[in-house]
Amino acid sequence: MQHKRFSAMPCPIARGLDRVGEWWSILILRDAFAGLTRFDEFQKNLGIAPTMLTRRLNALVEGGLLERHRYSDKPPRDAYRLTERGQDFRPVLQAMMAWGNKHFTPDGVRVQIIEAATGTPADPVMVDRRTGRALVEPEYIVVRGARPDASAESPL
């Protein structure tokens, strides 16, 4: 369900939050990345009420992050798979994981990204796909509009 106040805003953060800003939605996407696809799997893993899970899955399908695939007609049952748009949410989840590990781990890190070949923990950063350089200030700034203009700098 899209909120008119966000979907009409020109801010890409607000428009993105309109699709995934509810915390159950983000946890459902996390579980989808972990390989869960079925309603009962999401429900068991999250401990979420069936009505809430139905609403959140419907919103993620409507937002284009998940797609339904019927795997049983009697009774009717659907599996949910990440779309390309949903797959593009992976770096957001990875950034949230790294941030949470850095600031909110009183019992120690339980989930982290590691290099598969060596087992070495990764320290994720956003990079420019074109140059491979880290997106850090002052080398990179956020601007509003199509062209960089110092008067249009964003606080992000």
Q: Which residues, listed in sequence order, are joined to residue 82 by a DSSP beta bridge? A: 66
Amino acid 14: pLDDT: 86
The torsion defined by the Cα of 144, 147, 151 and 156, in degrees rounded to 10, comes to 40
Whether the Cβ atoms of residue 109 and residue 101 lie closer than 8 Å to each other: yes
Query: Among the listed ranges 7-11, 95-99, 105-109, which one has the minimum average pLDDT value?
Result: 7-11
SS percent in the chain: helix, strand, coil, step 5: 40, 15, 45
Nearest Cα residue to 57 out of 25, 22, 83, 89: 25
At 102, the amino acid letter reads: K
| Segments of the chain assigned E as strands | 66-73, 76-82
Number of CB atoms found within 10 A of residue 54's CB: 13
Per-domain residue ranges of the chain? 4-87
Contact (CB, 8 A) for 55 and 63: no
Predicted structure pTM score: 0.80
In the structure encoding, which two tokens stand for residue 62, read together?
Answer: 């409507």
- Condensed to tens digits (0 to 9), the pLDDT of residues 17-70 reads 888 878 899 999 999 999 999 999 999 999 999 999 999 999 999 999 999 999
User: What does the pLDDT look like over 35-49, one tens digit per residue?
Assistant: 999 999 999 999 999
Closest by CA to 18, choosing from 50, 49, 60, is 60
4 vs 38: CA distance, rounded Å? 30
**Architecture of the structural domain at 4-87:** Orthogonal Bundle (1.10)
